[in-house]
Amino acid sequence: MAVAWQGNPVVLGGFKTVGGKSVATDQVWRVINSHWVEMPRLLQPRAGAAAAVAGDRLVVTGGVDANGALLSTTEVFDGTSWSLGAPIPTPRQQLAAASDGKLVYIVGGTTGDSDQVNVEAYDPIAKAWTTLPPLPQARCDLGVAITDGRLVAVGGISGGQVLKSVSVFDLMSKTWSGLPDMSTPRHGMAVAAVEKSVYAIGGSSTVGDKDPTSTAEVLKLPARKIQPAAQWRSLPDAPTARLMMAWAVLNGKIWIMGGLQNGVALQTVESFNPKTGAWEAGPPLPVPLHHAAAATYRGEVVILGGASDNIADGSNKVFALRGGNWVELPSLTHARAAPAAAVVGDKLVAVGGQNAKQLVPQTEVFDGSSWKEAADMPTPREHLAAVSDGTYVYTIGGRFLSSDKNSAALERFDPQSGQWTKLVGMPTPRGSYGATYIDGRILAVGGEEPTRVLNVVEMYDISEAKWSTLPPMPTPRHAEVVATVGNTVYVIGGANRPTHEGPIATVEALDFM
């Protein structure tokens, strides 16, 4: 085993030849001033173990002793002497280790009878082990490295086959995914990270210690996506308890407009600054509105559609907040309540909704001067959500005029071509909820069913075309604000009961890191 400790290479244990046989040694050597200097010896001989540095402590665990028996012991060097730490939960050899500076991660290995998928983290301060999600594939004699919040597991042997596959573990989300294969299968190689590149050097492409290679290869890691925290955090309540409001983010503030409170449509406008935690009152809407949609367009908050009284009487009005006042923009061609809206480039897109107890299938696109129709949404629905990734508009969920007829549909609109594409639907059909975009993912939050409101949070990775489940909201709700500012998703207000009852002012946030 070898590590870099206090700026110098250190070699620990391993096999040495005694009487023509390979036996484990307890010797530890360090390079100082270009010379090898012996350090205090390990508490017992060991080979095929794993070592890493956490803080100023050098940690070594697992492997075999001088008789070839598996070791469960962990040893920690504090700069002066070795002491015993907590034993490794799964004794094994030919395992790999890497550290994020605080914890030592132990990956894979073999018992001699079977290759292992085990992954564990050791905290040398607390002297405690934590079991983590296993490797996607068992492997021993592999290499690992940590960089950019990720642990990369490279090559090794599995079931008698030398591997070229590479897996990556996100330390925040605690999930495994794949990376491109090495060009050469190898085991027993050196693996190290420099900045955001991982190097695999040497090793062998055949099982055993023969046929070593001097080749090396490097993988530059793709940009890491920020990952959600393990739980939501609570913030002070909003000034106004309400549901079915419209919202948009402008200049780092979440603007919230209209909505319902105890069955009454509101003109109330408030903005929330997450950076300072401050709420401010804004100019009231020209008319009371609920079930409207909003977006930020050309540096202004724009609200469209909705209803002032009965949801069956949809509005076609469009207003922009300009210079502290609301000004009317060209009206929608199709009145619509409970629609969704999003912006791509210089185009504002309005989709879905209902009017006169009928679904509105038409897609409308505003270019700053007038509204033009594009292809109809493939799955007409209302009480849906829409987000933009800067290239496309994504419409998610919604319902078919009733809370017992929720949709799981996910569809993508290309304003450039005017065409729609169907994508993988949500695991949980839902309507009357909020969605937001963050770092290549779409979050769908909350929702309404006939007898309950939801705390379910699901995330769609656009590049991977996969849904996953995130920590649930502490407060189940529907008809709420869901908005991203920076690396945090904020959920504001809504209702804690189905229909239009139970308005709340609760604010909760999910941080991404």
Give the tens place of pLDDT for each residue, 263-292.
999 999 999 999 999 999 999 999 999 999
- Tell the burial category of 62 from Cβ atoms under 10 Å away from its Cβ (0-12, 13-18, 19+): buried
For residues 457 and 222, is the Cβ–Cβ distance under 8 A? no
Q: What is the pLDDT of residue 173?
A: 87
Of 102-106, 227-231, 346-350, 475-479, the poorest mean pLDDT is in: 227-231
The CA distances from residue 393 to 206, 212, 431, 434, in Å, are 50, 53, 18, 15
Q: How far apart are CA 21 and CA 46, in angstroms?
A: 15
For residue 335, pLDDT over 90 is answered with: yes
Strand, coil or helix: what is 120?
strand
For residue 209, pLDDT over 90 is answered with: no
1-132, CATH topology level: Neuraminidase (2.120.10)
pTM above 0.85, yes or no: no
* 382-407: b (≥16 Cβ within 10 Å) or e: bbbbbbbbeebbbbbbbbbbebeebb
The single-letter DSSP state of residue 160 is T
What residue segments make up the domains of the chain, in order of their start? 1-132, 145-224, 233-511
Q: How far apart are CA 486 and CA 480, in angstroms?
A: 19
Nearest to 219 by CA among 142, 298, 155: 155
DSSP string across 373-416: EEPPPSS--BS-EEEE-SS-EEEE--BSSSTTSB---EEEEETT
DSSP string across 123-137: ETTTTEEEEEPPPSS
- Tell the burial category of 79 from Cβ atoms under 10 Å away from its Cβ (0-12, 13-18, 19+): exposed
Average pLDDT over residues 421-449: 98
Average pLDDT over residues 196-208: 96
Common-topology check for domains 1-132 and 233-511: yes
Average pLDDT over residues 77-100: 98
Strand, coil or helix: what is 165?
coil
For residues 131 and 125, is the Cβ–Cβ distance under 8 A? no
Q: How far apart are CA 415 and CA 398, in angstroms?
A: 21
Q: What is the pLDDT of residues 288-317, one digit of tens each?
A: 999 999 999 999 999 999 999 999 999 999
Average pLDDT over residues 32-61: 97
Mean pLDDT of the chain: 97
Nearest to 381 by CA among 411, 408, 401, 356: 401
Q: What is the pLDDT of residue 413?
A: 98
State the pLDDT confidence band at 457, using cuts at 50, 70 and 90. Answer: very high
For residue 502, pLDDT over 90 is answered with: yes
Q: How far apart are CA 281 and CA 274, in angstroms?
A: 15
- Tell the burial category of 251 from Cβ atoms under 10 Å away from its Cβ (0-12, 13-18, 19+): exposed
Q: What is the pLDDT of residue 466?
A: 95
If one counts every other C-beta atom within 10 angstroms of the C-beta of residue 356, the result is 10
Amino acid at 206: T
For residue 210, pLDDT over 90 is answered with: no
State the pLDDT confidence band at 137, using cuts at 50, 70 and 90. Answer: very high
State the pLDDT confidence band at 100, using cuts at 50, 70 and 90. Answer: very high
For residue 483, pLDDT over 90 is answered with: yes
For 3, phi and psi rounded to 5 degrees?
-140, 170
Q: What is the pLDDT of residue 347?
A: 98
State the pLDDT confidence band at 415, using cuts at 50, 70 and 90. Answer: very high
Q: What is the pLDDT of residue 364?
A: 98
In the structure encoding, which two tokens stand for residue 391, read together? 């290239």
Bridge pairing between strands 278-281 and 269-273:
antiparallel
Q: How far apart are CA 411 and CA 390, in angstroms?
A: 15
Amino acid at 438: I
Q: How far apart are CA 199 and CA 98, in angstroms?
A: 14
For residues 484 and 437, is the Cβ–Cβ distance under 8 A? yes
The single-letter DSSP state of residue 101 is S
Tokens 């992954």 correspond to what residue? 119
State the pLDDT confidence band at 99, using cuts at 50, 70 and 90. Answer: very high
End-to-end CA distance of the chain: 32
Residues near 210 by beta carbon (within 8 Å), at least 6 away in sequence: 204
The single-letter DSSP state of residue 71 is -
Q: CATH: 2.60.40.1220, 2.120.10.80, 3.40.50.2300, 3.10.450.50. Which one for 233-511? A: 2.120.10.80
Partnered with residue 52 across adjacent β-strands are 59
Amino acid at 126: A
Nearest to 70 by CA among 105, 44, 99, 51: 44
Q: What is the pLDDT of residue 371?
A: 98
Q: How far apart are CA 301 and CA 315, in angstroms?
A: 18
